[in-house]
A and B are shown apart, each in its own frame.
Chain A
């Protein structure tokens, strides 16, 4: 399209003299991580599909587990005031509640961790930022999961 430089100059020129002209155009702003012909070709593997499925399935399970957990801990039988060392010790004496809490811990941590991974993938622009944010996330997730598992399995009611 033709461009009339005289009237166009009036638009941009605030300070009087413009730094840019036809031969020295201003830099354009490129979007983050633009697709080019060199964009990595499709990799075989179903990780993203399994991650997506896991989010749906763990979500369903977690609704049951978490609502049950909240009911028991906060509503039924005296509510939050009953929670103490003895209450927790009593529950973990039964393998049923151990498994319940363990499943809840693993599913919630992986569900949340995967959710945050997608958020990082969606919003971190630079490859380095992505990498380190994800490393931080994975470390935190693994640490919490292992610590929780350790506590559930090695819990000693006679610790005092």
Chain B
């Protein structure tokens, strides 16, 4: 393995310590349909500062060891939602997970999120996920004439759905849901979170329609309150609570 070279690091702190580098093993689940139909776990040993993120380790592997390693990332700062993956068995964003926080003494496993088709290495087909998102109509729907100025809203009304506005559509929640793993017809937590964001928005007027969509056979009633989604969400959204609020709205609407 290459000896640590300080000039390569983009972490300014690294220059101060004696040697911040440790040797960590990344055990990555590889799949390349152009080579084999078999999935393989491949180990990569790299020298890395534990204060770096898993994404930096993946970069290091891709740029210095094996250029075929494939994964998605864009912003690298936890806002675009493209690099959700299963790290040590838990769904996280690679760009928000520090290596020191996930015990680098043991091999760190990295694999694609579950419940979606793996296309290559860590890249999955997100179409079913976004289909569910589209199906809840995640946009403002209003009746009547367009106002001449912006639609005002009180801070309290805004607060009502504040939590669910934070979603970055990373799919960490949906792909951690055991109901979704077994039945892709279920809307999944992310779609419900994004429906919640409009159902409880005082400016929106299609809440009733969205509730009706989620009242469906594959809607909120399939939630088993496992809390996997709340644990997985990198934005700290209380996903299960949002789902329960939609259930409550459905029941109080009827009775």
Which residues of A line the B interface, CB within 8 A?
1-5, 7-9, 11-14, 18-22, 25-37, 39, 42-44, 46-49, 51-53, 121-123, 125
Contacts and interface: CB of A to CB of B under 8 A. Distances in A.
A34 B69 CA distance: 26
Nearest to B116: A31
Residue among A25, A31, A47 with max Cβ neighbours from chain B (10 Å): A31
B247 to A, nearest CB: 8
Contact of B135 (A12, A29, A39): A39
Given A28-B119, A34-B128, A11 B184 contact: no
Contacts of A121: 183, 222
Nearest to B215: A49
Contacts of B181: 31
B23 to A, nearest CB: 22
17 contacts: A3-B68, A3-B70, A8-B34, A12-B36, A21-B35, A26-B34, A26-B37, A27-B33, A31-B184, A34-B117, A35-B131, A42-B215, A44-B212, A48-B216, A122-B178, A122-B183, A123-B182
Contacts of B216: 42-43, 48
Nearest to B115: A31
B215 A29 contact: no
Given A13-B36, A43-B217, A52-B247, 10 more contacts: A3-B67, A8-B35, A11-B68, A12-B32, A18-B35, A25-B33, A25-B34, A26-B33, A34-B117, A49-B221
A47 B218 CA distance: 12
A146 B13 CA distance: 75
A36 B127 CA distance: 8
A89 B175 CA distance: 55
Contacts of B185: 33, 35, 39
A13 B37 CA distance: 10
Contacts of B221: 48-49, 51-52
B66 interface: yes
Contacts of B119: 28
A48 B246 CA distance: 14
B36 A26 contact: yes
A11 B42 contact: yes
Contacts of A51: 221
Residue among A4, A8, A32 with max Cβ neighbours from chain B (10 Å): A8
A39 B131 contact: yes
A149 to B, nearest CB: 29
B217 A32 contact: no
